[in-house]
Amino acid sequence: MKRDRGWAIAEDPLKYRWLIFWVIGAIYFLACLHRISPTVIAMDLVFEFGAGATALGLMSSSYFYLYAAVQPPVGVLSDTLGPRRVITISTLIACVGAVIFGSALNMTMATVGRALIGMGVGGIFVPGMKILSKWYRQREFAGVTGIFLAAGNAGNLAASLPLTYLVLLLGWRMSSFAIAAVTFVLAIISWSILRDNPEDKGWQRIEVGINQSLPAEGDLPAGIRPRTRLRVVFSKPGFWMITLSTFFFGGPALTFQGLWAVPYLMDIHDYSRLQAGGLLMMLPLGFVIGAPTFGFLADKVSLGRKGILLCSLGLSLSCWTVFLLSGGKPNSLILGPLFLIMGSCGGGSLSLYMTITKELFPPWLTGTALGLMNPAAFLSTAVFQPFTGFLMDAVGRSGSAYPLAAYYNVFIVIFICMAIGFVSIIPLKIPETRLRAHAKISSQN
């Protein structure tokens, strides 16, 4: 019976695509786990290497610098070399980085390891989106993107309380080695199972693109140069609006979740590490809920993608308003709901950023466009983490903890940046041809 079920999956493209989906999702899960993990082991690194907040911010941000740097070439390689190859090679690089990080003798070596991790996992999301765009219909794409983000960002969930328990059980070094071993296994599985498109399995294309105003994949000009790809992408005002919003919204959110959330809860609210890790789970849990929910709403609700995106950004901004109005220390009873809402809005906005960007360009530019937009949040995080570390050190420690004033300065900067991200989306115009085509398909089903 199990063999028959396995053959059914291998012979049916509509079933096989879900196998592809979950393989990519599992690899993206580890990418997100790496992204947030420093907040759990921050104090371990401080005690073992004698690092201050600025040094810790630089180490953590090296992931984001390399992640952002590889996005444009990863996008072009996804369109030329093929996303399957890019994902497999990138996963192996991340494995090497995790081994080096776990073996670190000082902060410099830890920074090198984390940088390699960032380089490796930087080659997962964009080629993953490229593969999914070939295996799923356009009317399914926003929803599938949301599920993909939720599946991957369950890694953020695992990087809170579960990783805390793992570190307490094995130590931070052995935990890194264990993650490296799982990463290596996933690299082998990705090469065995992933395919760039249904045609590579001898099947017909899932769907011909509905955007008649744009060239189809088969209309790709012969021998098109990377410079031409860049010129087409950079000429779109909508691309810059999305990228600017992603930069000012994503970076501050990732910095708080990935570096300062646990220290904040321990220093200001007197939580233990386990209590802080448990509350931190509300952020990625919200992300896992919000990414598919906002994605499906954008597919179904008349407000459309831009309207839902503005609702998501506005709701997140209101949560940070609560932090400011409370002097940086909201009542502990509302921290859980606040974190849950903030995480949901983060997941929802990211799924819509990706979907809108994908729909602004023809299929043969999907990888390039996403590869150029995607680094915005990570470049922002790479700048924001050491900058917030500087703000924290400028106030200084009060004994072994940072005072509320240090965190409040960070919250002010987060609020200002997110407000800019919200305003950047207001002038965005999504091409009418897409809206009409989308509405036509929705009415037919």
Domain ranges (residues) in the chain: 11-197+226-444
Helical (H) or strand (E) element with 377: helix 375-395
Task: Give residue 186's pLDDT.
Answer: 94
DSSP character for 398?
B
- Which amino acid, one-letter code, is at 5? R
Write the CA distances from 314 to 46, 256, 390, 420, integer angstroms: 36, 18, 28, 11
Task: Give residue 223's pLDDT.
Answer: 56
Q: Looking up tokens 């008649």, which residue turns up?
A: 212
Q: Can you give the C-alpha Rg of the chain in angstroms?
A: 21
Cβ pair 127, 229 in contact under 8 A: no
Write the CA distances from 22 to 4, 129, 150, 219, 328, integer angstroms: 20, 13, 11, 30, 39
Residue 397, by phi and psi: left (phi above 0), alpha (psi -120 to 50) or beta? beta
Task: Give residue 433's pLDDT.
Answer: 42
Provide CB contacts within 8 A for 205, sequence distance 6+. 134, 197, 198, 199
Write the CA distances from 188 to 3, 11, 87, 247, 434, integer angstroms: 22, 21, 11, 33, 38
Q: How far is CA 308 from the centre of its chain?
A: 19
Q: Residue 300, Cβ neighbours under 10 Å: how many? A: 12
Q: What angle do CA 259, 89, 158 make, to 5 degrees?
A: 35
Cβ pair 148, 25 in contact under 8 A: yes
- Which amino acid, one-letter code, is at 192? S
Could you give the CA distance from residue 262 to residue 275 in angstroms, rounded to a whole number?
Answer: 9
pTM: 0.68
Task: Give residue 242's pLDDT.
Answer: 93
Q: Which of 376, 408, 378 is nearest to 391 (CA)?
A: 408
Burial class (CB in 10 A: 0-12, 13-18, 19+), 443: exposed
Task: Give residue 10's pLDDT.
Answer: 63
Task: Give residue 221's pLDDT.
Answer: 52
- CATH topology for the 11-197+226-444 domain: Growth Hormone; Chain: A; (1.20.1250)
Phi, psi of 398 (to 5 degrees): -115, 90
Low-confidence stretches of the chain (pLDDT beneath 50): 1-4, 209-219, 432-445
Could you give the CA distance from residue 42 to residue 164 in angstroms, rounded to a whole number?
Answer: 11
Q: Looking up tokens 């530019």, which residue turns up?
A: 365
